[in-house]
Structure 1
Amino acid sequence: MMRKRMVYFTSIAVLVLMGVFAWNRTTRAAYESAEYKVIESDDNFEVREYPDLMLVATSTKIDAQGRDGSFMKLFRYISGANESEQKISMTTPVFMESKPLMENDKTDSEVQMGFVMPKEVAVEGVPSPTGPDVDVHKRAGGRFAVVRFSGRLNAKLAKENEAKLRAWMDSKGLVPDDSPESNGVESASYDPPWTPGPMRRNEILIRLK
């Protein structure tokens, strides 16, 4: 009897996980995603070529994951808090770009959270924000080394995967672009906040020379 119950509950758990996985993939597919071309692929590592992208961005910390109000500032922008009062479709991923730090600033987790503008909006012209602490800027295209991983993104997980990515880059002879114009290290999240950690798609990106 006990064994039958275990089999039953295990089967239910598997079905639920499969359902959540399918729903999550469907949810992701519903959004326009930033285009890129894969140049090289090696398990969870890739070299990609990105075009220029237009982002609307605000300051946050990677551990905050939008809970500090940064996500809502950007959401209000795409909901109409812009000079055209234009509603703009959500896209993936949400980029976290490293910000240049002040000389005496010891915080290494300060980033710009950015929503990618849909291609059509970028072509027609991105409206200026009307809300506070939000700006529009261009993410310059180029070649990036990328590692994909799951989990709930925080500074510790980002640093661990950055180290893995840099080790892979060294093994491939790939040189990071450390110039002042470079974005530095970026992270990207593809899923809504309520997505379970094991089913989340996260990435670390490093611009290459």
Structure 2
Amino acid sequence: MANVWELGAAILGGLGALVGIRAGTEQPRYTLVERLGKVEIRHYGPRLAAQATVSGSATAARSAGFEAVAGYIFGANTTKASIAMTAPVAQSAAGRSQSIAMTAPVVQTADGPASWKVQFIMPARYTRETLPVPTSDKVTIVELPAQDYAVLRFSGSRSGRAVERRTGQLTQALAGQGWRVTGPPTAWFYDPPWTPSFLRRNEVAAPVARGG
């Protein structure tokens, strides 16, 4: 049986999503600051996001978080308005505010369920004042400040283990390059689950600043 993530993505993606086509889906704008091999340093401006915090494995949390935030953009808000879907869907570990060692992958501890943040970036036309208020206490609107990110793009599996491996590659690639990681990493997913593996656009990103 299709899980909530698959069903929601089917509704949001339309016919093009059947093969991973993202035509017409708004994505946050960024400026390319520097290219370090396969890693891009990107500057993103301030953004608004609808966010749910959920527990469980990386994959299960992604599905639960998607369900909560998809409900908001489908009309579970004070104006009952539908909000256009954007890409990517962002997922990050909650409660990890410390800096990440430049040469070490991020590891999910096994002593109890993990906590994850799942975010949909809101379309750029909205402000905090014009964005509908969620009616579910599971969803909050957060303001993301302007930030430089180191980003590594990959296709294929987006399991928790795959994301950890790619995050390790990202942090190792930054070593000695004049950038330091300043916060927890985030995984960005652009395609529905049935998209052929080799066509998927997935990214791992970490906030960075010059120095180090």
TM > 0.5 = yes
Equivalent residues in 2 for 1:11-90 (5 A)?
A: 23-24=19-20, 27-60=21-54, 61-64=57-60, 66-67=62-63, 69-90=64-85
RMSD: 2.6
Is 1:158 equivalent to 2:153 in the alignment? no
Give the superposition deviation at 1:118. 0.2
The structure carrying a bigger helix percent of its residues is 1
Give the superposition deviation at 1:62. 2.2
Query: Structure 1 residues 151 and 120, CA, compared in 2 at 3 Å: closer, same or farther?
Result: same
Query: C-alpha offsets along residues 73-110 of structure 1, whole Å, 9 cap, x if unaligned?
Result: 211111110111111000000011221159x9945853
- Alignment partner for residue 95 of structure 2, among 82, 85, 100? 100
Letter in 1 for 2:45: P
Letter in 2 for 1:121: Y
Stretches of structure 1 that go unaligned for 5 or more consecutive residues are: 1-19
Question: Contact conserved, 1:89 with 1:118, CA < 8 A, in 2?
Answer: yes
Q: TM-score normalized by structure 1?
A: 0.77
Query: C-alpha offsets along residues 135-185 of structure 1, whole Å, 9 cap, x if unaligned?
Result: 1101222111110001231211111111111111004131111xxxx4x11
Of 120-129 and 82-91, deviating more is: 120-129
Question: Contact conserved, 1:44 with 1:149, CA < 8 A, in 2?
Answer: no
Runs of 4+ with >3 A deviation: 20-23, 104-109
Percent identity reads 26
Q: TM-score normalized by structure 2?
A: 0.76
Query: Structure 1 residues 188 and 48, CA, compared in 2 at 3 Å: closer, same or farther?
Result: same
1:192: which partner in 2?
Answer: 192
Stretches of structure 2 that go unaligned for 5 or more consecutive residues are: 1-15, 98-108
Question: Contact conserved, 2:17 with 2:195, CA < 8 A, in 1?
Answer: no
Of structures 1 and 2, the one with the larger relative CO (CA 8 A, separation 6+) is 2
